[in-house]
Structure 1
Amino acid sequence: MSKDAKPTIYSIAKRLNLSPSAVSRALNHPGRMSEQTEELIRRTAHEMGYVKVRQLRRPASNLVAALTPNLSDRKSEALLRAAKRRLDARGFHTLIFEETDMVTGDGLSPRFLESGATGAILYHPLNLSGQEILKLAGQMPVIAVDRNVPRVVGAQIDPDQATEQALDALHAMGHAGLVYLQRETPTWVSEHVGQLLAKGCAARGMQFRVLRNCLSVPQAGSGTLERFLRNPASAVFASTGNIAAGFAVAAQRRGIRIPQDLSLVMLGDNPHESVISPVIAQITEPMDDLGKQAAETLIDMIEDPRHPRTIDLRQPSCFLPGASIAKPNTRRSAPASTIREDPLHMQTSERITLTVLSSSIRDLEPLIERYQQEHPNIEVQPQKGGMADFDGNTANQNGTLGQEGTLAEYRRRFRHNEDVPDLLVTEYRNLPQLESDGMLLNFSAPLIENTYKPRFRDDCWQAVHRQAGLYGVPSNYGTMAMFYRTDILDRFGGAPPRTWHDLIDLGARIHNEDPAITLTWLDTIYTSHYAALLRMGGEDLWQVDDDADRIDLRLNTACARRTAALLQDAIDSGVMHAGPFTGHERDEALRSGNFPIIVHANWQSDNIARVFHDCPGLWKVAMPPSFGEATQLHSAMIGGGAIAISSKIPSSKRAAALHFAFWAQSNPTAVDLMSPRTLSATQYFQRRAQIEQRIDPFFQQQILPIFLESASLAPPAHYLPFSTQTEMAFQRTMVPFLKPGGASQNHLADWQEQLAAYAISRGYTVATHDDE
């Protein structure tokens, strides 16, 4: 080298007899080789007068923030542990946060942004939108792991080649079909593997099916197996090790041998490998390597503002064949249902104790008392559900105990395998999601279907079915009716309105004369009341095709908007108040006299009679008002309940549970014990109500014929397979605008968009209908 020549990486490498890449790593990426070698290279470069063309930026701080949805998740733990080790070696400190602490309904908490972090690693961020991640990436370097966000550096496992190898192995063994068990909250890699399997099976002439919403806990294995057995295949691919472990245990308990009867492959490792036999074949997820790569890339981005921000980091998986795959056993068929006799004629001489979780012990007690008189060998213990609202708080503002609290309590017990009740009293709307999550027993069998279908209303019998499975025994149903106070309407010279236009005109006149009177109430505690009113306007808001995994959404049609605009007009005119109509708030509203007309479910009759028990004849019942001409009334179903059986119930208790459930809901003795204002789902009740012509002692009129006529004008209700998300979306997008001047009809599109996005994330095909 001449005296005036500038030293380069190559000249330094030549002097030290090292490779240029080693010199580059020491000067530009310290921490990737031994300290002695790095020090030698730096000292030599200094002596030779080497000056780097690229000056590294000194970071504003040495803090890196990491965000994960679950600190106890094995994959998250492995990735963040490896990333932290690499960051520590380079002089950075790592702050690790859980999403629940740092993500609110408005996005990232200010605490996260004020932590002083100079970069962030986001592992599978569930509750951040792509726009929020992109915004954060504009403020600091960001690596999004297992999440594909345009213009943000992503880091993922690359399972392509390993998935092909797994399919080659199964195909070579002679498997003609494969079922993919997709986790309840799909990750990028689990979705990608599903796409690879679908494409690979099609190329090999293999049948392929996805079983979605599989709970990633071993305890849910029996529920997943029950769903699989409806349409089985000779090979199964599980999207997590927990799903694979639970499925394998449940299969073996049913006498299904792995791999002799069923081959099993999983994505990722098996946390229960020491107790699960045989060793399950797997596609690896090298989270340690991905964590190191993510940390190194993030440091490069922090130190060099010019570092590319649109690259994708990939760590290849590999296929590890295990003892869980073999040639298919073509002689074995799927296990048939074990139900061989009518539940009400099953032998139940053994002493058995059943537990049933319900939000209303009062309604169960007379049934249980009479049942145990007839069947003293079966003890039924009622349990109260927990108190919770949609945000997971232990009690709502009224301190009331409701369906949502009971559902939350059941989920908590099920997930923790803690005192799981044998039976659950729940609403029709909750059954699809509970079934999807593998939490309910499918007790469909030809004998049961043929014996009990004629005993129930068709719509109620269909409400407890999903994908040809039977997941509950129908109890009751609700339909819309109008309740009105005769004294207040008489005072203002008003007649019971037959249309909503009449109701609004009457309400506006009464409100002008007495501003304290609002006339009626829109119940926002759940979606059901508002949705029922929209259906009365003529629109079927959603339909679900379980066989095709397709959902049609019609929340933003001209018909729905027209009905919503009329309801908004009632709110703007001071005719209707919107808010939770439950518990103490409901009772006080009724007592005040400021809401003399209630258009709601028939079961509100019990609440009105309870509050005004000493005022018979004060309230009357009529058909609900029509949204069109009075002679063209469309009514709507609203609510309805069933008794379901837990998928975790011991097999020794199943006969007794079925016996109690069918007795409590269909035996005439049990039906006669129900509230006289409750609409039983049985045909027996329909016939009895028509024959009796009973005068209700409180309303002093026949009310059941009105309820039954309203039900006859209501089409069957449909239920989305994600009831919790449906309620949350309603609370977020609609409830804040159900107020004077809220123009709530303009937010139906937002409600529909949120439901569509969630349905798509769960693997459904969604069609939205937005007409002008």
Structure 2
Amino acid sequence: MSKSLVNLADYGAAGLKEKFADSAWSQVSVADGIYGIPQDSGPMAMFYRKDILDRFGAAPPSTWEEYSALAKEIRDADPSIHITYVDPGDAGTSNSLIWDFGGKPYTVGGTTDVAIDLKDDTGAKAYADTWGPLIENKLVDSTASWNEERWKSMASGKYATWLAGAWAPAVLEQNIPQSRGQWSVAPMPGGVSAENGGSSVAVTTQAKNKEASIAFAQWLNSDPEAVRSLNSEVGLFPATNLLLDNPGFRSAEVPFFPGSRPNETFADMSKAVRPGWQYLPFQVYANSVFKDSVGHALQPGGNLPGALATWQERLKAYGKEQGFTVK
């Protein structure tokens, strides 16, 4: 990466740090370099169907224990409804949940040293201890996502909650506009959060005019007018404190959630993202083989702790093959 992207620290980008949420800035800062300007972020929140929770006289669960208990209550009363779903091919959400549980399974030092611990890491174990029983007892649905069938299921009320990033309102409105007003937003169970998505703007070393490219990336993602436009016209949830701390933004009504102010929850979750998370230098590969290990365990009969250990060993082997020093 360091050979393909301009280190923006050499062009004064470090001075922008205070303008961005800590979790967003940490994702562009690698080995004392800065390789992108955060553009949007995806702090996780809990989207829930008000009509389903009202049916069971339930408030949005504030702890994972309450979440698991509500999952059982719903499933016992109506087997056609699940608390949520898991996608056996979606490494991103599992990583975000491990992060949310306090995990730090990936550690990167410099450019060649990598440590991987998906077996004994406390957050990974907490993730497995919580989601393993939910899957084993069929309290969550196991299904592929981001397809027409999943959107039909969400619109019909098959799922009581959806744990996703703050980018989700625009996606919901685009795919299931008929469910406008049925959804609301609450903090993640436990009150802490993790990033689930987000993007940044980088400059390649092949850029013909690096200074102009860097100046544009900085303006686009930190100028007040530009940032507001990315949010209001494109639907990107901001990574900049300019909006996250703005009372007008926090209190704004979002059309898909009439009568509520979801930005306040999203902004609070952004502040509640656990610090210190790192991704692997070969995270793309890690995500590509997720379905062959952990994905099998995100279905009834699966062994989630064992699958995390299998994923770990496969990632360690690959890292060594690529010349990393792996622990």
The TM-score with structure 1 as length reference comes to: 0.40
State whether structure 2 residue 248 is matched by structure 1 residue 685: no
Match in the other structure for 1:178: none
State whether structure 2 residue 257 is matched by structure 1 residue 701: no
Match in the other structure for 1:540: 104
Change (3 A) 1:708 1:760: same
Structure 1: 5+ residue runs without aligned partners? 1-434, 627-632, 768-772
Residue 708 (structure 1) shift: 1.9
Pairing partner for 1:655 from 204, 211, 223: 211
Match in the other structure for 2:39: 475
Match in the other structure for 1:553: 116
State whether structure 2 residue 220 is matched by structure 1 residue 664: yes
Once residues 115 and 85 of structure 2 are traced to their aligned partners in structure 1, the CA distance between those partners, rounded to angstroms, is 29
SS of the residue corresponding to residue 674 of structure 1 reads helix
Once residues 729 and 580 of structure 1 are traced to their aligned partners in structure 2, the CA distance between those partners, rounded to angstroms, is 16
Match in the other structure for 2:9: 444
Pairing partner for 1:762 from 314, 322, 326: 322
SS of the residue corresponding to residue 317 of structure 2 reads helix
**Structure of higher CA gyration radius:** 1
Match in the other structure for 1:746: 306
Give the 5 Å matches for 1:325-340.
Answer: none
Pairing partner for 2:282 from 722, 726, 736: 722
CA contact (8 A) 1:483 1:598 kept: yes
Once residues 18 and 285 of structure 2 are traced to their aligned partners in structure 1, the CA distance between those partners, rounded to angstroms, is 34
SS of the residue corresponding to residue 474 of structure 1 reads strand
CA contact (8 A) 2:155 2:179 kept: no
Structure 2: 5+ residue runs without aligned partners? none
Residue 698 (structure 1) shift: 2.2
CA contact (8 A) 2:250 2:261 kept: no
Once residues 659 and 518 of structure 1 are traced to their aligned partners in structure 2, the CA distance between those partners, rounded to angstroms, is 48
Residue type at the aligned position of 2:211: A
Aligned-residue CA RMSD in angstroms? 2.3
Pairing partner for 1:710 from 269, 280, 288: 269
Q: Deviation string for 1:652-688 (max 9, x for gaps)?
A: x333322332222111111111235643122212232
SS of the residue corresponding to residue 538 of structure 1 reads coil
Match in the other structure for 2:291: 731
SS of the residue corresponding to residue 164 of structure 2 reads strand
Change (3 A) 1:691 1:735: closer
Match in the other structure for 1:42: none
Pairing partner for 1:571 from 132, 135, 143: 135
CA contact (8 A) 2:41 2:166 kept: no
Residue type at the aligned position of 1:493: G
Once residues 649 and 616 of structure 1 are traced to their aligned partners in structure 2, the CA distance between those partners, rounded to angstroms, is 44
Give the 5 Å matches for 1:313-712.
Answer: 435=1, 438-445=3-10, 447-450=12-15, 452-546=16-110, 549-557=112-120, 559=122, 560-626=124-190, 633-650=191-208, 653-676=209-232, 678-689=236-247, 693-699=251-257, 700-712=259-271
SS of the residue corresponding to residue 278 of structure 2 reads coil
CA contact (8 A) 1:532 1:636 kept: yes
Give the 5 Å matches for 1:189-268.
Answer: none
Residue 457 (structure 1) shift: 2.7
SS of the residue corresponding to residue 551 of structure 1 reads strand
Once residues 644 and 758 of structure 1 are traced to their aligned partners in structure 2, the CA distance between those partners, rounded to angstroms, is 26
Once residues 115 and 252 of structure 2 are traced to their aligned partners in structure 1, the CA distance between those partners, rounded to angstroms, is 42
SS of the residue corresponding to residue 493 of structure 1 reads coil
Q: Deviation string for 1:510-564 (max 9, x for gaps)?
A: 22222211220224443221111122222212121126x3222221116323421
Q: Deviation string for 1:20-45 (max 9, x for gaps)?
A: xxxxxxxxxxxxxxxxxxxxxxxxxx
SS of the residue corresponding to residue 665 of structure 1 reads helix
Once residues 192 and 249 of structure 2 are traced to their aligned partners in structure 1, the CA distance between those partners, rounded to angstroms, is 26
Residue 498 (structure 1) shift: 1.7
Give the 5 Å matches for 1:133-144.
Answer: none
Once residues 96 and 142 of structure 2 are traced to their aligned partners in structure 1, the CA distance between those partners, rounded to angstroms, is 15
Residue type at the aligned position of 2:8: F
Q: Deviation string for 1:250-276 (max 9, x for gaps)?
A: xxxxxxxxxxxxxxxxxxxxxxxxxxx
Q: Deviation string for 1:455-514 (max 9, x for gaps)?
A: 323332332232333321110111111011111222233322222222222222222222
SS of the residue corresponding to residue 231 of structure 2 reads coil
- RCO greater where, 1 or 2, for CA within 8 Å and sep 6 or more? 2
Once residues 250 and 263 of structure 2 are traced to their aligned partners in structure 1, the CA distance between those partners, rounded to angstroms, is 10
Residue 608 (structure 1) shift: 2.1
CA contact (8 A) 2:250 2:267 kept: no
Match in the other structure for 1:140: none
SS of the residue corresponding to residue 444 of structure 1 reads helix
Residue 752 (structure 1) shift: 0.9
Higher helix share: 2
Once residues 494 and 701 of structure 1 are traced to their aligned partners in structure 2, the CA distance between those partners, rounded to angstroms, is 18
Once residues 89 and 167 of structure 2 are traced to their aligned partners in structure 1, the CA distance between those partners, rounded to angstroms, is 16
CA contact (8 A) 1:441 1:644 kept: yes
CA contact (8 A) 1:528 1:638 kept: yes
Match in the other structure for 1:152: none
CA contact (8 A) 2:181 2:256 kept: yes
Change (3 A) 1:570 1:624: same
Change (3 A) 1:757 1:689: farther
CA contact (8 A) 2:13 2:34 kept: no
